[in-house]
């Protein structure tokens, strides 16, 4: 990190080294933000299901007691005999018993 000081009209540059921990923390924040951009854009657009199942590691079974039926993005089946619903985030039919990384409790 560079800090510029002005002393009597002369600029003095002081260099303060960043610690490895600070660099890793900032890098993690930047990479995490980049990874969430598609999800944020999707949620703002209001369109249904454009992410692929692979992108969000969808699985047809619950994880740690959480499943699609308890997620705010889950859309239950419309037909009474249908076994799959849809999702505001993922494309295609999904199981009410499934789960993905975008799980968000109701």
List residues binding ligand SF4 (CB under 6 A): 58, 68, 71, 73-74, 87, 89-90, 94, 98-100, 102-103
Taking the complex as a whole, the smallest distance from the CB of residue 98 to ligand SF4 amounts, in Å, to 5
Taking the complex as a whole, the smallest distance from the CB of residue 73 to ligand SF4 amounts, in Å, to 4
Strand ranges (E), 1-106: 2-7, 10-15, 74-75, 86-87
Q: Which lies closer to ligand SF4 via its Cβ, residue 13 or residue 106?
A: 106
- CA dihedral of residues 39, 99, 55, 101 (deg, nearest 10): 50
Please name the residue ranges forming H helices in 15-105. 20-45
Taking the complex as a whole, the smallest distance from the CB of residue 69 to ligand SF4 amounts, in Å, to 8
Taking the complex as a whole, the smallest distance from the CB of residue 30 to ligand SF4 amounts, in Å, to 24
Q: Which lies closer to ligand SF4 via its Cβ, residue 38 or residue 98?
A: 98
d(CA 42, CA 36): 10
Q: β-strands 10-15, 2-7: how paired?
A: antiparallel
Q: Which lies closer to ligand SF4 via its Cβ, residue 35 or residue 87?
A: 87
């Amino acid at each position: 990190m560079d800090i510029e000081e002005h002393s009597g009209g002369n600029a003095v540059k002081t260099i303060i080294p960043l610690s490895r921990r600070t660099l890793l923390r900032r890098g993690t924040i930047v990479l995490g933000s980049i990874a969430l951009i598609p999800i944020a854009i999707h949620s703002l657009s209001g369109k249904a299901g454009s992410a692929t199942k692979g992108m969000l590691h969808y699985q047809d079974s619950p994880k740690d007691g959480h499943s699609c039926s308890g997620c705010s993005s889950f859309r239950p089946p419309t037909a009474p005999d249908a076994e799959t619903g849809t999702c505001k985030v993922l494309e295609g039919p999904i199981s009410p018993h499934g789960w993905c990384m975008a799980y968000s409790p109701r």
